[in-house]
Amino acid sequence: MPEARPEVATPEALANGRLDSWKEIAAYLKHDVRTVQRWEETEGLPVYRHPGKQRGTVHAYKPELDAWQKRAGSRLERPARRGWLFVGRRHWLAALAASVAVLAGLGLYRVVRRDIRIDTGQPTQSQIAAFRMASGLVSPDGNWLAYRDAETAHLWIRDLQSGRSRILAPQWTDWSLAWSRDSRRLAFVTLGDSPHRLETIDVRTGAVTVVAKGAPPASVPRPHGWSPDGTRLLATVNLSDRPAEVQMAWISLKDEKLTPVSTVPGPRQGPPSAPPTTPDPQLSPDGRLVAYTSRGDIHLIPADGGGQPIRLTEHRDREWNPVWSPDGRSVLFVRRRSNENSSLWAVAINPQTGAPKGEAFFVAPLGHQTSALRPSVSPRGDLFLSRDRGTAQVFLLEVDPKSGLPRGSPKSGFPAGSGAGGWSPDGSKLYYRNWAVGGAVGGDPNAFVERDIKTGQDRLFQIPAAPPALRSGYLLNFRPGRPWILHADFRGHAVYRYDTRTQQPETLLRTDEELQGGISLSPDEMRLAFATVAEGRQTYTLRLFRLSDRTVMTLASSRLAPQAEWSPDSRTLAYTDANCLMVVPAGGGTPKELVCATPSKLPQPGTFPGTLVNFLWWNAINPTWSPDGRRIAWTVNVPENNRVELWIVDYATGKRQVAWAGETDYYTVPRGPLWSPDGTRIAFSLNTYPKDQIWVLRNLPLSGPPR
């Protein structure tokens, strides 16, 4: 039976049960500080770091600790399961130990220390490492982790037993990695210097072999797997003459000969939170079949390229990361519904023909799974994946509505895992999401928490549920007091408006190009601003859609996804282009640069062929207008100075004032300032993305649904 979904605490309970130090947390759990710190690393103890404070400053919430302790149960009290297995009475164990010592002394018995794995038949999970990486892959034997360093993109290898790491390739490398079946060789791609190179390296000796070379835009084949005999690599190849397609092919390690397997639709640009949609082909254990992703579903095809693809799944949810079970009789994959956590599913197949045997079945919840580590299964059925426990917290800054100057420092008082959503029309209440009750971490996507600013009291606020056809989309532009809700279907290239009074959805927009974030309806409800990106293009386009005559006009282009916000009079749009705050007339005209932040290092043209890399969170986030339209609030992340700043920019002059600045780290991201309707407060949140946590899941029901 799969592990139950974690219990959650109400916002009221979270707010009233906060513990503000390791000492308080240890006292509450009735253990010493070292023990609870170890539990955070190995058992997922829900502890949060304070944004902008020193590294050792933490806090936790009693209801979350209670729920965690109940889930962990007696496992916390068991001795470490290494070395001797202590069972029975003390005198029996002492006698046994003495006997073994005598036999060992006579040379008749050798004591071997080894890990003891007790198979309970139930899925279990444990954290085995935690550090920052850009991408990674665990070796088939489960002993090594190959990964790209998050700062330099150099290739490293980590011994998962000892925790020691060493560098393999001190060059800028691509995200694609492929281990040989014997875990001795690793295939990867080096970037930076032209031409790019597909290489293999012996992880024991460091010997490197160049397999193929190529220059942008076609670049070189990206490795995804090895043939059973170790003579060929299964790879994907970008087609320079067909940028919308990707070819899966075999490449010979001997003569670079390419043997096509199939051609599938290429990567499609989606919102920043969308999972990857690359084919990601994975070879079956016997080398006869290839599982891959195409347009959000899992498919199979013969590895020799003969025969037609077999569709294993057909679902509105996104499905990706196919993984074979060790016996090749089922294909596992990750599934995620919009606004929910990821989960692991599987479908049983006929290993000879690839035909599915019944419907896909649920295997285990994955929590907040990240794309840093590609899921993989060891020969004994252990699943390796990465997670994070990103935290967010809402802050309120009081400002003078006339001058825009701050009155004091920002104050929080909001529970961890919170993100600002919107103000009530009179500014007396702030609506925010909390990860424990909805939206961001798999709860109800229509659930908000309403905070009374004067009293500080919280209550659950439920948005009317949209019809099932819209629930697979993304909730946009939640504004309390309005009778409608915007939804975006990024997969279907459409934007809908759902009227909560008539309970009828209305299609506002459909486009052939890929929709991006920053979709917003003007205050007069006559125009819709949105951003698109065409297949194979390296720039985003900010567009305007008129609801009256259903015409579309182009307003501006941007290197990064523009997060457009309307002025109160619906006449101007403010947006971010790279590191600059821009404004453009809604009726058309030349965009104007108001102010720029310190530029972050952006990719050079052609560095990432066929893809757009969203560096928006590295620098500046979407702006918001003051109620009188005279100023724009803008949050800026300055990674080289370890600072996050809130700017108040004068719309007429472009002069900026730093309303607040806080010390932070490289992975803390400011999110959307929201100006209250009376102009006296600005709400914003800080999202912290910590180290990627490497987890291993054992005893998974890989052969069929758990009974």
The pLDDT assigned to 243 comes to: 66
- Of residues 8 and 244, the one with the higher pLDDT is 244
Look up residue 318 and give its two tokens: 């996104």
Produce one character per residue of 104-113: b if its CB has 16 or more CB atoms within 10 Å, e if not. eeeeeeeeee
Give the helix/strand (H/E) hosting 155: strand 155-159
22-29 vs 62-72: helix crossing angle, rounded to 10: 50
CA dihedral 638, 643, 644, 647 (to 10 degrees): -80
The answer on pLDDT for 366 being more than 60 is yes
Distance CA 334, CA 519 (A): 28
C-alpha closest to that of 325 among 706, 707, 704? 704
Mean residue pLDDT across the chain: 75
- State the pLDDT at residue 403: 82
What pLDDT score does 478 carry?
60
Q: Residue 242 is encoded by which pair of tokens?
A: 């067909």
The predicted pLDDT at position 339 comes to 46
Q: How confident is the model at residue 72 (pLDDT cuts 50, 70, 90)?
A: low
Q: What is the pLDDT of residue 290?
A: 96
How far is Cα 386 from Cα 136, in angstroms, rounded to an integer?
9
Q: Answer whether residue 427 shows pLDDT above 80.
A: yes
Q: Which residue has the tokens 């895992």?
A: 417
**pLDDT tens digits along 286-339:** 999 999 998 888 999 999 988 889 999 986 667 889 999 999 999 999 887 654
Question: Which range among 59-73, 131-145, 381-395 shows the weakest confidence by mean pLDDT?
Answer: 59-73
Q: pLDDT-derived band of residue 216, with 50, 70 and 90 as boundaries?
A: low
* Omega before 11 within 30 of 0, i.e. cis: no
| Residue 604 contacts residue 567 (beta carbons within 8 Å) | no
Label residue 90 by pLDDT band (50, 70, 90). very low
Determine contact, residues 607/639, Cβ cutoff 8 Å. no
Residue-level pLDDT at 651: 94
- Find out whether 620 and 593 touch, Cβ atoms under 8 Å: no
Cα(434)–Cα(415) distance, rounded to whole angstroms? 8
Q: How far apart are CA 315 and CA 464, in angstroms?
A: 25
User: Which residue bears the tokens 């009735």?
Assistant: 30
Q: How far is CA 268 from CA 210, 320, 565, in A?
A: 30, 13, 25
Helix (H) or strand (E) holding 16: helix 11-16
* CA pair distance 508, 505, nearest whole angstrom: 9
Structure tokens at 291: 């599982």
The backbone region for 367, taken as left when phi is positive above 0, alpha when psi lies in -120 to 50, beta otherwise, is: left
SS3 state of residue 23: helix
pLDDT per residue over 430-450, tens digit each? 888 775 554 333 345 567 788
Least confident residue range of 67-71, 317-321, 567-571: 67-71
Rounded to the nearest angstrom, the gap between the alpha carbon of residue 42 and the centroid of all alpha carbons in its chain is 21
* Cβ atoms within 10 Å, residue 654: 15
Domains of the chain by start residue, with CATH: 11-77 (1.10.10.10), 133-266 (2.120.10.30), 276-387 (2.120.10.30)
CB count within 10 Å of CB 322 equals 24
Q: Write the pLDDT tens digit of every residue in 589-637.
A: 999 999 988 765 444 433 333 333 333 334 456 789 999 999 999 888 7
pLDDT of residue 494: 81
Please give the share of the chain, as a percent, with pLDDT higher than 90.
24
Q: Beta strand 429-434 with 447-452: parallel, antiparallel or unpaired? A: antiparallel
Q: Which residues pair with 557 in a beta bridge?
A: 541
Interval 642-670: pLDDT, tens: 677 888 999 999 999 888 877 555 456 66
Q: Which residue carries 């397999």 as its tokens?
A: 211
Cα distances (Å, whole numbers) of residue 15 to 6, 44, 259, 435, 590? 19, 21, 60, 13, 48
Band (171; pLDDT cuts 50, 70, 90): confident
Whole-number percent of the chain with pLDDT over 70: 69
Q: Is the peptide bond before 410 cis (omega within 30 degrees of 0)?
A: no
